[in-house]
Amino acid sequence: MRLFSPEELADVTTRTFVAAGWPQADAAEVARHFVLANLSGHDSHGVGMLPLYIAAVHDGLLSPASMPVDRINAAPFLVIDGQVALGQPTARRAVARACDMALAGGVAVLNLIDAHHIGRIGDYAEQAAAAGLIAMFWVNVAGRVPIVAPHGGREARWGTNPHAIGVPDGQGRPLILDFATSRMAHGKARVAFNKGVAVADGFLIDAEGNASNDPAVVFPPAPMGALLPFGDHKGAGIALIAEILSAGLTGGALIKDKPVKSWIINSLFGILIDPAKLEPDTAARSARIDAIASYVRSAAPREGFDKVRAPGDIERETRISRQQQGIPVDDETWRQIVAAADSVGVKV
């Protein structure tokens, strides 16, 4: 395990994507997104993803030539075909356009179809909250074999299909609820696999449907097991809805379409709302939201917890800590990053 500054990780990421053919601005956006995920404590969506992206480039599945195109641009509806373009800059621009639409008309309905992996969904909830908007996002995962079993099943039927909600509070501490509908993100299983450590009880099953603590059961060449949905039928139900809303409605790639080679395609469905249309008094609205969140935070913590946090608090705290102390990257993940960079001519 070694520690890196955010600037070091951003530099290697940016140089790698520029060398692979992307403009500086797009490469820098991927780097910003990766590093912010690491700073927030979500290493599953951080720089450890870089080798998977570069592998997709070498396989001919991800290309700098891919450009998104509009299907529908008629407020309040915005439907964009991502054309498997690089996910983070594609999604950020799509959300920015939806934010402008919501600020102009009060609401926007966004469907970004078939982008390459768009990363941590909470990033886009934060983007909308910074614009003063409430946002709700549902995302599916396609282009690879299913990895999450439905409740009661022992065969996987969908991806980790995340859901995120952001609510601005007017105090600079937006409520950001962001979670995979599986009990753990597949990327977190990858982090555990690279570290050679077991995962907690209740997260995994092997190919026979037996409980397992070994993250290897969800990675080749082992017979594929599955992640379990969070909350049993509750998480499984949200995952199914995310599959339908993000890709099923408009013909995006679905998890049931078996890929020839494994890559990551995301479709995103979002609803963005201007809260000023519901409560024009900004100060009163912000005070009420802050009062509700403060009331939750004021609860006495139970044993094993230092305090009660609202959604988004832990990420803000972790960012401060890792900005000061450095971002940890395990040795195997770093070896993969160095090899991926080297494969496009970047020496680290």
pLDDT at residue number 281 = 96
- What is the model's pLDDT at position 259? 67
For the chain, report the end-to-end CA distance as a whole number of angstroms.
17
Whether residue 264 is found in the same domain as residue 254: yes
Task: Tell me what pLDDT residue 260 has.
Answer: 64
**pLDDT at 263 (0 to 100):** 83
**Does residue 329 sit within a domain?**
yes
pLDDT reading at 197 higher than 70: yes
Kindly state the tokens that stand for 268: 């995103």
Q: Which residues contact 116 (CB under 8 A, 6 or more apart)?
A: 53, 56, 62, 66, 82, 84, 85, 86, 87, 90, 263, 264, 265, 266
Residues 275 and 127 in one domain: yes
11 falls within a domain = yes
Q: Are residues 163 and 293 in the same domain?
A: no
Hey, what are 189's tokens?
């299983």
pLDDT per position as a tens digit, 55-111: 999 999 999 999 999 999 999 999 999 999 999 999 999 999 999 999 999 999 999
Q: Which pair of structure tokens corresponds to residue 294?
A: 């403060």
Please give the mean pLDDT across all residues of the chain. 95
Long-range pairs, 321-327, Cβ under 8 A, ≥24: 322/6, 322/38, 322/39, 322/41, 323/6, 323/39, 325/3, 326/3, 326/4, 326/5, 327/3, 327/4, 327/5, 327/6, 327/9, 327/35, 327/38, 327/39, 327/46
**pLDDT tens-digit series, residues 160-196:** 999 999 999 988 899 999 999 999 888 889 889 988 9
pLDDT at 217: 94
Residue 200 included in any domain: no
Residues 121 and 173 in one domain: yes
| CATH number of the structural domain spanning residue 242 | 3.30.1370.60
Same domain flag for 4 and 148: no
Same domain for 83 and 7: no
148, HSE (Cβ side, Cα atoms, 13 Å): 33
Residues 81, 9 within the same domain: no
For residues 274 and 159, membership in a common domain is answered with yes
User: pLDDT tens digit string along 139-165?
Assistant: 999 998 899 999 999 999 999 999 999
Q: Is residue 174 part of a domain?
A: yes
Query: Is there a single domain that holds both residue 75 and residue 158?
Result: yes
Q: Note whether residue 202 is domain-resident.
A: no
Inside any domain, residue 195: no
Total tally of structural domains belonging to the chain: 3
User: What is the band of 36 on the pLDDT scale with cuts at 50, 70, 90?
Assistant: very high
Task: Give dist(CA 37, CA 183) in Å, integer.
Answer: 19
Residue 198 domain-assigned (yes or no):
no
Q: Report the C-alpha gap between 118 and 313 in whole angstroms.
A: 23
Radius of gyration of the chain (CA): 20
Residue 207 lies in a domain: no
| CA-based torsion, 256, 242, 85, 348: positive or negative | negative
User: Residue 261: what pLDDT?
Assistant: 72
State how far the Cα of 198 lies from the Cα of 196, in Å rounded to an integer.
7
Tell me, what CATH number does 339's domain have?
1.10.1530.10
pLDDT of residue 257: 85
**CA-wise closest residue to 266 among 113, 135, 146:** 113
Instruction: Dump pLDDT digits (tens) for 300-320.
Output: 999 999 999 999 999 999 999
SS3 62: coil
User: Both 25 and 162 in a single domain?
Assistant: no
Distance of CA 161 to the CA centre of its chain: 9
Both 54 and 111 in one domain: the answer is no
pLDDT of residue 254: 94
Work out whether strand 107-116 and strand 77-81 pair parallel, antiparallel, or are unpaired. parallel
Evaluate whether 315 touches 122 at the Cβ level (below 8 Å).
yes
User: From CA 113, how far away is CA 140, in angstroms rounded?
Assistant: 10
The Cα 127–Cα 111 span in angstroms is 16
Asked if 270 contacts 137 with a C-beta cutoff of 8 angstroms, the reply is: yes
Distances (CA, A) of 161 to 1, 56, 116, 184: 30, 20, 14, 11
One domain for residues 266 and 337:
no
Q: Give 279's DSSP letter.
A: -
272 is in which domain, residue-wise? 68-182+229-283
For residue 145, the model assigns a pLDDT of: 87
Residues in a beta bridge with 109:
77, 271
